[in-house]
Amino acid sequence: MTEATSSRRKRVAVIPGDGAGKDVIPEAVKVLQAAAARGGREVALTEFDWGADRYLRDSTTLPADAVEMFRRDYDAILLGALGDPRVPGNQPGADILLGLRFKLDLYANVRPCVLFDRRLTPLKDRAEKDIQITVFRENTEGAYVGMGGFFKKGTADEIATQEDINTRKGVERILRYAFEFARERGLKRVCMSDKANALAFGHDLWQRVFAEMRREYPEIASSHMYIDNLLMQMVRDPAQFDVIVTCNLFGDIASDLGAQLAGGIGLAPSGNIHPGQVSMFEPVHGSAPTIAGKNIANPMGAALAAGMMFSHFGWDTEAEAIEAAVRAAILAGKTTADLGGTLGTREVGDWLANHLSR
């Protein structure tokens, strides 16, 4: 804990990033300030202008001292999104987003898929209780580590390799985190998903670690599904899942599917977490260039991500207040167009903040 922080006061680094990230983060900030004030808490915010504009101006992505600074001076990071059509290859995204996930060792990407209102799911005859899933995505390994290369690039004989890294330590800690989450919340089911039938080495490791660990949690009904079956089952009968835990690539995909089951990606929050250390919270969505800057992006995913950040601080009452405000806005039809409403990004942010200030 730095000098500046206490259980009542936290320091948060804010990186709006690009596109829709810049639209939704100011609204999430309004919401988190209102929720903090309501609980007598204080959040000191510092904004960082990293993203495509800055990169195009002076080539900055993630400054060399950033990781050390975040560890020393901040309790959490709130991030919008990174990606801009003017920067093919998205170097700032790779350096900032993946850089922070890897360098801060934020190994658990936690993505709740919670249906607030049954009218929002594209599935027929599903109620709120049927879609209450938390996806745990391994966040520091797998196919995302950037190991690989090209040989004879650009020729007819080109070869491209992309390594998939799975370590015992990495698999153990994400499985442990998912099981502990289930145990703490009294959730009864954990489903581990992999593709061990085809990826016979890396995912064999997942199978073996899972087989060992599930014995330590006898009160939890743990199960296994191959990823192709899992995605099908999430659509067929989402009520069978409480907690899903899987690798980096499959978690990325399964959590977007889960987000859509719960009303869409604009509503989906995520936490990049290393328990007890500075962690990063962001909406699941990207920079959505086609809707950016038009006051139409849904700010609720970003607001709920701020709520997850409060939970990480142990501010559960304030986190629940943010979730309750989002639920109330949805039930009252105070939403952006993606959820069927007529409000703009800023108007939804104002509504949520006002609701929390009442």
Q: Are 201 and 164 in contact (CB under 8 A)?
A: no
Q: How far is CA 334 from CA 10, 29, 127, 299, 355, in A?
A: 30, 18, 20, 12, 11
- Looking at the Cβ atoms of 20 and 190, the one nearer to ligand NAD is 20
Least Å distance, CB 277 to ligand NAD, is 20
Catalytic residue among 73, 105, 256, 350: 256
Q: Are 317 and 37 in contact (CB under 8 A)?
A: no
- Looking at the Cβ atoms of 203 and 312, the one nearer to ligand NAD is 312
Q: Residue 3 is which amino acid?
A: E
Tokens representing residue 279 in the block: 């962690």
Catalytic residue among 75, 144, 164, 177: 144
Is 144 known to be catalytic? yes
How far is the C-alpha of 77 from the C-alpha of 61, rounded, in Å?
A: 16
Residue with tokens 């992505």: 61
Is 84 known to be catalytic? no
Least Å distance, CB 339 to ligand NAD, is 9
If one counts every other C-beta atom within 10 angstroms of the C-beta of residue 146, the result is 11
Least Å distance, CB 9 to ligand NAD, is 28
- Looking at the Cβ atoms of 205 and 288, the one nearer to ligand NAD is 288
> Buried b vs exposed e over 186-201: b needs ≥16 C-beta within 10 Å?
ebeebbbbbbbeebee
Catalytic residue among 95, 252, 334, 338: 252
Least Å distance, CB 282 to ligand NAD, is 6
Residue with tokens 């192709």: 228
Least Å distance, CB 300 to ligand NAD, is 8
Least Å distance, CB 338 to ligand NAD, is 4
Q: What is the dihedral of CA 136, 137, 140, 141, to 10 degrees?
A: 130
How far is the C-alpha of 29 from the C-alpha of 346, rounded, in Å?
A: 11
Q: Are 269 and 307 in contact (CB under 8 A)?
A: yes
- Looking at the Cβ atoms of 93 and 170, the one nearer to ligand NAD is 93
How far is the C-alpha of 131 from the C-alpha of 116, rounded, in Å?
A: 9
Q: Per DSSP, what are the bridge partners of residue 111?
A: 135
Catalytic residue among 30, 195, 242, 338: 195
Tokens representing residue 123 in the block: 């599935």
- Looking at the Cβ atoms of 121 and 298, the one nearer to ligand NAD is 298
Catalytic residue among 49, 228, 237, 316: 228
Is 256 known to be catalytic? yes
- For residue 106, what is the enclosing H or E element? none
How far is the C-alpha of 38 from the C-alpha of 31, rounded, in Å?
A: 11
* Interface contacts to ligand NAD, rule CB under 6 A: 20, 24, 81-83, 90, 93, 97, 265-266, 282, 285-291, 297-298, 301, 338
- Looking at the Cβ atoms of 21 and 202, the one nearer to ligand NAD is 21
Q: Which residues are catalytic?
A: 144, 195, 228, 252, 256
